[in-house]
Homo-oligomer: A and B are copies of this chain.
């Protein structure tokens, strides 16, 4: 095992006190850390609630835009997490904030879920496209005609998880991005997405293709993009050294923490395994735990 990677659940009281004294803000991933799908992970909710009772500022930082914040709040309440709406961060919020800051006056061409569309529209961003499938074509001539059928009022391309993403939509995104004024925002850039019993192609694969063909680079609203840090900083002063990032993914959560200079706690209840840390020395966590719930018996009670 690489040096300095410490199993937090083996800490004695003194070590736990030093650990708790080392941060005042906690960012935690959700799926794979607090719950898996619709099943909460034992003890994890209590650990987050205890952190809050101990005076820590907590943000839930998910990369999943297929739910609205309102839908997240229903889950959070159901699981007994004491987290408020403004403590929930998803890429949709970061993307909206970026598009507003860039003063987008035109429409957004979106390849995303209906939840993302709903949140963009609630923020007065007009979506050019619908979230269903695009037109089907019979042959190459129809394909060429369809991809040239571009909405001239588009000023931004936004790509996240879109269950109906297809060739025509991707080509339209590429063609919109020929205009250097057209903004380009990616939500999650995950290449694989574990979805309970099956791992599906992540939006990152489609984003890479659009990037390559357009010669453009997307601004990343999700983890591990550091835009998320600026977004949180506007709500709450972040001292990176005194911020703890908890996550189950080395490539998103630990990478975000590396990018931002946060402390890193990897939990093994989700995407990444302990041996994966050997393959990415840049994103080596400071701590690990089998599950977040394993910390509960070690935390001081109030």
Contact = CB atoms under 8 A, between A and B. Distances in A.
A140 interface: yes
Contacts of A200: 147, 171, 213
A192 to B, nearest CB: 7
A163 B139 contact: yes
Nearest to A195: B144
A144 B66 CA distance: 13
Interface string A122-139: 000000000011001111
Copies in the complex: 2
Contacts of A161: 140
A54 interface: no
Contacts of A114: 138-139
Interface in A146-175: 147-148, 161-168, 170-171, 174-175
A201 B191 contact: no
B136 A164 contact: yes
Q: What interface size band does chain A fall in? A: 35 or more
A192 B144 CA distance: 15
A36 interface: no
A198 B175 contact: yes
A113 interface: yes
Contacts of A168: 163-164
A10 interface: no
B140 A163 contact: yes
A70 interface: no
A255 to B, nearest CB: 19
B212 A191 contact: yes
A196 B206 CA distance: 24
Interface in A172-190: 174-175
Interface in A194-225: 195-196, 198-201, 205-206, 209, 212-213
Given A113-B140, A201-B171, A164 B166 contact: yes
Contacts of A241: none
Contact of A198 (B133, B147, B166, B195): B147
Across chains A and B, which 4 residue pairs bring their CB atoms closest together, nearest first?
A: A166-B166, A133-B136, A143-B163, A205-B209
Given A113-B139, A133-B136, A163-B167, 16 more contacts: A66-B140, A137-B163, A140-B161, A142-B163, A144-B196, A147-B198, A148-B198, A163-B168, A164-B167, A167-B201, A171-B200, A192-B213, A201-B209, A205-B209, A205-B212, A205-B213
19 contacts: A114-B138, A132-B136, A133-B136, A133-B166, A142-B163, A143-B163, A147-B200, A148-B198, A163-B168, A164-B168, A165-B166, A166-B166, A166-B167, A167-B201, A175-B198, A191-B212, A205-B212, A206-B209, A209-B209
